[in-house]
């Protein structure tokens, strides 16, 4: 393993530790930003090592779960620190993560893959299963709270929160069972797609465990640095006069950087199946794991929690799902599908700043 791949996580972790005892001036903010980017790149490398050792779809599942668990910790910690002012942060972050993945990440992967390989293929059965589960999870968690009548203002009652949390966790667990056990072949590369990694010797167990440990360090560092930079981000959002929802978008973008980088690299290498596994699996984990954790924190600590989206955001969410269902309906992709997704992603960002 080249020294840079273990030096960067350790140096970034040391910088993160030092940031807790040092004022975040311009120089420190710049250093944290550079360390964050370096940690993202290193995290992707170690995730690819682990993925190559355990194979698909387990490798992509490792990265998706690891990042989502740390994302949950970040959201809950910000909720605890912010109190009532952060009641909408989980909703904004989860919505942003779903939109970023379904329009931005998938769009970039399809565009990059199409530019390099004209057409690419992926398993339609796996993508349909993931997309159907994602529509249900997003509908129950982000859309229905705006229409239920037992609690006003886009909120759920405790019993409703409990039902949604259990439903989200159950559906995510069912998807993981299908992905890794029952129908694992739905998430493997199509048989007519060449995979250069098949011919590369897998890393040893020692190398895989070392990469797994450094992956955890890198991901914790990414989220820790993102949290340290969040006051600067909030100040910039306030100074720009942008809506508070932009903060959730910024947090989601920072947390999703490793997965995005890994997914785009896979598409460029003509491994679109890996890209789809990463993208859709991450979107499912973002709701299936985050909602139960946020609900537990809100109920036990009596924290306010607003989940219902506004009308504009509901339309954007439904449009993203409709477009995804159309563009991913054949299992074959080209640059046109990528352009469609990216235009929708640009509209999501623009309307977040100019609602």
State how far the Cα of 171 lies from the Cα of 139, in Å rounded to an integer.
13
Residue with more model confidence, 175 or 216: 175
Angle value at C-alpha 158, between 154 and 164, nearest 5 degrees: 75
CB atoms within 10 A of CB 186: 19
Please report the pLDDT score of residue 198 as a whole number: 46
Asked whether residue 254 carries a pLDDT value surpassing 80, the answer given is: no
Mean pLDDT, range 326-340, rounded to an integer: 93
pLDDT value at residue 82 = 62
Q: Is the pLDDT of residue 345 over 90?
A: yes
- pLDDT given at position 59: 67
Share of the chain above pLDDT 90, in %: 36
Q: What is the pLDDT of residue 7?
A: 87
Q: What percent of the chain has pLDDT over 70?
A: 91
Residue 1: pLDDT over 70 = no
User: What tokens were used for 14?
Assistant: 């040391």
Single out the residue of 275, 122, 110 nearest to residue 192, CA to CA: 122
pLDDT tens-digit profile of 38-85? 887 787 778 778 877 777 667 667 767 777 776 777 777 666 666 667
Over the stretch 3-13, which tens digit does the pLDDT of each residue have?
888 888 888 88
Q: Per-residue pLDDT averaged across 141-154, rounded?
A: 92
**CATH superfamily label, 4-353:** NCX, central ion-binding region (1.20.1420.30)
Which of residues 86 and 191 earns the better pLDDT score? Answer: 86
- Kindly tell me if the per-residue pLDDT of 126 is higher than 60: yes
* 8 A C-beta contact, residue 310 and residue 245: no
Determine contact, residues 76/290, Cβ cutoff 8 Å.
no
User: Is residue 261's pLDDT more than 80?
Assistant: yes
- Spatial separation of the C-alpha atoms in residues 306 and 148, rounded to whole Å: 13
**pLDDT at res. 24:** 75
> Which runs of consecutive H residues, i.e. helices, occur in 178-271?
205-240, 245-268
Question: Which positions ≥6 away from 44 have C-beta within 8 Å?
Answer: 258, 261, 262, 265
The predicted pLDDT at position 175 comes to 92
pLDDT tens readout for residues 162-213:
999 999 999 999 998 998 888 888 888 876 554 544 445 778 888 888 888 8
From 52-61, 93-102, 262-271, the region with the lowest mean pLDDT: 52-61
> Residue 191 class from Cβ within 10 Å (0-12 exposed, 13-18 middle, 19+ buried)?
exposed
Q: What is the pLDDT of residues 225-246, one digit of tens each?
A: 877 777 777 777 778 777 878 8
């Amino acid at each position: 393993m080249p020294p840079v791949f273990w030096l960067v996580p350790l140096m970034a972790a040391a910088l993160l530790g030092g940031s807790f005892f040092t004022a975040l001036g311009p120089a420190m903010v710049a250093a944290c930003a550079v360390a964050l980017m370096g940690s993202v790149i290193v995290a992707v490398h170690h995730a690819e090592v682990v993925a190559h050792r355990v194979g698909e779809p387990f490798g992509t599942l490792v990265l998706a779960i690891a990042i989502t668990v740390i994302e949950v910790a970040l959201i809950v910690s910000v909720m605890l620190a912010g109190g009532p002012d952060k009641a909408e942060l989980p909703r904004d972050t989860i919505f942003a993560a779903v939109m970023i993945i379904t329009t931005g990440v998938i769009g970039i992967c399809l565009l990059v893959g199409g530019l390099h390989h004209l057409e690419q293929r992926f398993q339609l059965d796996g993508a349909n299963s993931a997309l159907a589960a994602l529509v249900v999870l997003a509908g129950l968690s982000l859309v229905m709270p705006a229409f239920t009548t037992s609690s006003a203002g886009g909120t759920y009652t405790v019993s409703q929160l409990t039902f949604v949390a259990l439903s989200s966790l159950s559906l995510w667990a069912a998807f993981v069972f299908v992905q890794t056990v029952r129908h694992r072949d739905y998430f493997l590369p199509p048989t007519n797609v060449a995979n250069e990694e098949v011919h590369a010797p897998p890393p040893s167990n020692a190398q895989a465990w070392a990469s797994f440990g450094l992956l955890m360090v890198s991901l914790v560092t990414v989220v820790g640095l993102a949290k340290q930079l969040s006051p600067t981000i909030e100040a910039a959002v306030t100074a720009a006069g942008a809506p508070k929802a932009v903060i959730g978008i910024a947090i989601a973008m920072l947390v999703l950087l490793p997965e995005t980088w890994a997914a785009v690299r896979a598409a460029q290498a003509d491994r679109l199946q890996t890209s789809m596994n990463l993208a859709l699996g991450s979107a499912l984990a973002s709701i299936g794991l985050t909602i139960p954790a946020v609900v537990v924190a809100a109920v036990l600590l009596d924290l306010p929690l607003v989940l219902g989206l506004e009308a504009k955001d509901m339309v954007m969410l439904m449009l993203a799902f409709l477009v995804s269902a159309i563009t991913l309906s054949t299992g074959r992709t080209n640059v046109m599908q990528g352009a469609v997704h990216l235009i929708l992603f640009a509209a999501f960002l623009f309307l977040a700043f100019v609602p």
